[in-house]
A and B are shown apart, each in its own frame.
Chain A
Amino acid sequence: MKFFKNKTLRFWLISLILPLALLGAWKGADLLGMLKPYTMPKPESVIDTAVELAAAGKLHVHVLSSILLVLKGFLLALAAGLILGVLIGLSKRIEAFFELTVQIFKPIPPIAWIPLAILWLGIEDKSKLYIIFLGALFPILLNVISGIKNIDRKYFELAKVYEVPGMKLIFRVVLPGALPEIMTGIRVGLGNAWVCVVAAEMIASVTGVGYLLTYGRSLSRPDMVILAMLLIGIIGKVMDDGLKFVSKMLTKWNNGEEALVR
């Protein structure tokens, strides 16, 4: 199998060096007696906390509630970003209509919306969903637009020659043509959504990894804080890997294979 080819294996081995070295340094500092439990726990106590929370049935509740929230907000943003992006990408007039508004709203960080979101939508999931939606929307929207604008005009000319109707044009030319850039937008968008859920949960929530983090802080339990941080990092990476895989599957036609026949 390709995956286990030497180069890939070597790459993975090299990428493991730094995390293991950090872990070693952490443990080393512990053995030298440099760590105080109330500022920096030892590595094992983070694992103990994870096991303890998992055994109490709390760990997966926090993780799942964050992931579910992110997926909801992300899917809403994906739908909105695709529809709006296609309209803006294909029509100069619609682009002009939205241009200024998008430019002004884009630089506002999604977490800056938290106060208003809580006032308008309460402290329940709705306000968090809104923050996540905003966080994912802009990267997706902007990449859909630029992806469509970068499609070679000659394909639109081809579609004209064959009298291809509008919907077929969108699904056969516009979306596949913009797909590489759309996938970039989706990956950035999901990453942003994940950052936003943590931020929103830290401010008002009773579940989720962001809540776990603030809860750990209020109990003065750095082991819980570090556990929450590691969870955030690892889940974020796994989600991105999933999207990378999807992206590769969807753009198979572009995988730089040699011509079969010359």
Chain B
Amino acid sequence: MSDKVIIKNLNKSFPGNNGQLRVLSDINLSIQEGQIVSVIGGSGCGKSTLLRILAGLDTDYQGEVLFDGKPVTKPTREKGIIFQDHRLLPWLTAEENIRFSLPGDVPDKNALIQHYLDLVGLAGFEKTYPKQLSGGMAQRVAVARALANKPKILLLDEPFGALDAITKISMQDELLSIWDKEPITMVLVTHDIDEAIYLGHRVVVMTPRPGRIKGIYDVELNIPKSRTGLDFIKIKEVVFQEFFGASGSPFIYNI
């Protein structure tokens, strides 16, 4: 498989009170086509900034960020983004929100919109306004909107962070089943260790001040993935130790 995204020596600073504040320090990462990569870290580790740079929403950085071999300079439809907030236009219905995102020259928009609303399990809610949808449903519309644009990569910025635990779990499973049908490259930024391991083929652990990559782990879980199996717990422990250090781990696993 080829590298979809290549990040080389990426550095990023924000102007702060005492000169420049370094948010990303020497990030190197390659993402293969069709892979789901989770980026996990505490607040302020620069993981969302990294995603915004990948999306082309932030272009003020040093280093190299290549997408399909070309430098990322601006946002495009090829790079779908799911934000933490669903970011649906409140004055448009579910259907109209997806239509809004599509380019003018797409043939048979109605069928396309219907297909993706069905895919995320929202058949029957075409004419519903975002205010009338629950948080999980609104986020599904956002997923349908991103997918309808046939992106080559899907960038997810804590997509389920605002949802309750139960909804979150079912959304994670749905995301995996969508990936089974359309194995699209995904980068998922999260602060939830379970989510990172459950969804990711690779887990990138980042630490703050300045944000840097501390380790990258391949997750080889059985398919279908399990949230409670031995493999899951083993990897979770490794990631935990990466975060809190071998001695500082607040939990003791007895496997």
Contact = CB atoms under 8 A, between A and B. Distances in A.
Interface of A: 154-155, 157-158, 160-165, 168, 172-173, 176-177, 179, 251-254, 256-262
Contact of B57 (A160, A173, A261): A160
Task: Place the interface of chain B in its size category.
Answer: 20 to 34
Given A172-B92, A172-B100, A158 B132 contact: no
B87 interface: yes
Interface in B126-181: 128-134, 137, 149
B90 A254 contact: yes
B89 interface: yes
A192 to B, nearest CB: 27
B248 interface: no
B90 to A, nearest CB: 6
B77 interface: yes
A135 B131 CA distance: 36
Task: Give chain B's interface secondary structure class.
Answer: loop
Given A161-B79, A254-B131, 14 more contacts: A160-B75, A161-B77, A162-B77, A162-B101, A162-B102, A163-B75, A164-B101, A165-B104, A251-B91, A252-B129, A253-B91, A253-B129, A253-B131, A259-B133
B132 A259 contact: yes
Instruction: Identify which of B85, B87, B149 gathers the most chain A CB atoms within 10 Å of its CB.
Output: B87
Contacts of B54: none
A247 to B, nearest CB: 13
A157 to B, nearest CB: 7
A259 B131 contact: yes
Contacts of A154: 83, 85, 87
Given A179-B91, A259-B134, A261-B133, A164 B76 contact: no
